[in-house]
Amino acid sequence: MKLAKVLTADHHTAVAVIEDDQARILPGMSSPADMQLTALLEANDPLATVQKLLPKSKTVRVDQVRLLAPIDQQEVWAAGVTYKRSQVARMEESESAASHYDKVYVAPRPEIFFKATPSRVVAPGQPVRVRADSNWSVPEPELALVINSRLDIVGYTIGNDMSARDIEGENPLYLPQAKVYRQCCALGPWISVMNAPLPVADTVISMQITRGADTLFQANTTLAQMHRSLPELVSWLGREDEFPEGAILLTGTGLVPDNFTLENGDEIEISISGIGTLRNPVVKDAAVLRPEVSRD
């Protein structure tokens, strides 16, 4: 089931089930509009709860609504170095910290870091941002786990973990600046809610980057290339932490473009089999930076 957060023609936020070219808008629940998606994900059986609401739904064409990022007030977190390709890329970008990335790949404890608040997440079709002070930025296509407050995986969506590789490579302590900024993350196009866990071995992630009429990058990988399991990553996220509204966990990337940086106007298309396709343009403003403050 494709569960989406949408903006209707009369400018109301709602939850809808997407079926081919139709959007079945679910009736309003007792929760505030900005928490209705969360209320469904927090149900003991989200699929059954939605099925009970469907007979009262209003059906419109998909092109009559605007898809929003499938998130209410959840925090977005991310796991790093979960694919061999990501380990190699991180070692390449930071010679001084190469051994740390090598160690975390094989260590029992994964790399888990905070990625975004909802205000920093953009919807399908909305621009993701390259930092003005970065000269080497790439998209990172990732399977995103939708987790409820009980740390159950209740659905899956697509995430783009934008990353300033030059900033992180200069010093690993700059990771928050390389990863967390406005428009640093895209989610969508909806949440895929399933009766069974995602078939890891058969799930393909692909990414295409275009600049005008030119395809600059095109590749794919599978979740079978992940070094860690999805439940393992969730269990580490939940250690000594709690998420009253649930959370979104990006699970790492196995696709890293070589010798490439995003530029203003590029287009990113990420597809995951069984879920859908997330498309976002890229924006990079001309550098308007404050002058450096003397440390003397």
Percent of the chain, pLDDT > 90?
80
**pLDDT of 228 above 80:** yes
Q: Are residues 238 and 128 in the same domain?
A: yes
Residue 18 and residue 62 in contact, taking contact as beta carbons nearer than 8 Å = yes
Q: Are residues 63 and 89 in the same domain?
A: no
pLDDT tens digits for range 132-163: 999 999 999 999 999 999 999 999 999 999 99
Residue showing tokens 């928490």: 35
Q: Are residues 152 and 219 in the same domain?
A: yes
- Output 179 or 105, whichever has higher pLDDT: 179
Let me know if residue 58 belongs to a domain. yes
Q: For the chain, what is the domain count?
A: 2
Let me know if residue 140 belongs to a domain. yes
Name the band, by pLDDT with cuts 50, 70 and 90, for residue 32. Answer: confident
Task: Among 42, 67, 92, identify where a domain stops.
Answer: 67
Q: Mean per-residue pLDDT for 119-132?
A: 98
Q: Are residues 106 and 244 in the same domain?
A: yes
Q: Mean per-residue pLDDT for 84-107?
A: 62
Q: Are residues 7 and 135 in the same domain?
A: no
Q: And the tokens for 95?
A: 């010679």
Q: Are residues 8 and 93 in the same domain?
A: no
Q: Are strands 185-192 and 153-161 parallel, antiparallel or unpaired?
A: antiparallel
CATH number at residue 216: 3.90.850.10
Q: Are residues 102 and 177 in the same domain?
A: yes
| Helices 98-106 & 84-93 angle (0-180, nearest 10) | 160
Q: Round to whole Å and give the CA distance between 18 and 64.
A: 12
Q: Mean per-residue pLDDT for 189-195?
A: 96
Q: DSSP 3-state helix, strand, coil percentages of the chain (rounded to 5)?
A: 25, 35, 40
Q: Round to whole Å and give the CA distance between 256 and 275.
A: 21
Let me know if residue 135 belongs to a domain. yes
Let me know if residue 143 belongs to a domain. yes
**pLDDT of 99 above 80:** no
Q: Are residues 187 and 134 in the same domain?
A: yes
Q: Are strands 66-67 and 128-129 parallel, antiparallel or unpaired?
A: unpaired
Q: Mean per-residue pLDDT for 92-109?
A: 70
Question: What is the predicted pLDDT for the residue at 147?
Answer: 98
Percent of the chain, pLDDT > 70?
91
Task: Among 40, 67, 94, identify where a domain stops.
Answer: 67
What is the DSSP track for 234-270? HHHHTTT---TT-EEEE---S---SS----TT-EEEE
Question: What is the predicted pLDDT for the residue at 17?
Answer: 98
Q: Mean per-residue pLDDT for 186-212?
A: 95
Task: Among 14, 47, 67, identify where a domain stops.
Answer: 67
Q: Are residues 203 and 274 in the same domain?
A: yes
Question: What is the predicted pLDDT for the residue at 91?
Answer: 47
Q: Are strands 267-272 and 153-161 parallel, antiparallel or unpaired?
A: unpaired
Let me know if residue 294 belongs to a domain. no
Cβ atoms within 10 Å of 284's Cβ, excluding its own: 19
Q: Round to whole Å and give the CA distance between 9 and 89.
A: 44
Question: What is the predicted pLDDT for the residue at 295?
Answer: 56
Let me know if residue 296 belongs to a domain. no
pLDDT tens digits for range 72-82: 999 999 999 88
Nearest to 273 by CA among 198, 195, 186, 190: 198
Let me know if residue 237 belongs to a domain. yes
Q: Which residues, in sequence order, are CB contacts of 227 under 8 Å at separation 6+?
A: 82, 83, 84, 105
Let me know if residue 47 belongs to a domain. yes
For the ranges 31-40, 111-120, 214-223, which has the lowest average pLDDT? 31-40
Q: Are residues 190 and 57 in the same domain?
A: no
Question: What is the predicted pLDDT for the residue at 201?
Answer: 85
Question: What is the predicted pLDDT for the residue at 103?
Answer: 83
Question: What is the predicted pLDDT for the residue at 104?
Answer: 83
Q: Are residues 191 and 217 in the same domain?
A: yes
Please, how many CA atoms are within 13 Å of residue 8, restricted to the half-sphere of its CB? Answer: 16
pLDDT tens digits for range 197-208: 999 889 999 999
Q: Are residues 125 and 272 in the same domain?
A: yes
For the ranges 38-47, 103-112, 245-254, which has the lowest average pLDDT? 103-112
Q: Which domain holds residue 122?
A: 75-283
**pLDDT of 85 above 50:** no
Name the band, by pLDDT with cuts 50, 70 and 90, for residue 248. Answer: very high
In three-state secondary structure terms, 258 is: coil
Question: What is the predicted pLDDT for the residue at 28?
Answer: 84
**pLDDT of 289 above 70:** no
Nearest to 85 by CA among 223, 232, 263, 262: 223
| E-assigned strand segments in 98-181 | 111-116, 121-122, 128-129, 137-138, 141-147, 153-161, 163-164
**Average pLDDT of the chain, as a whole number:** 91
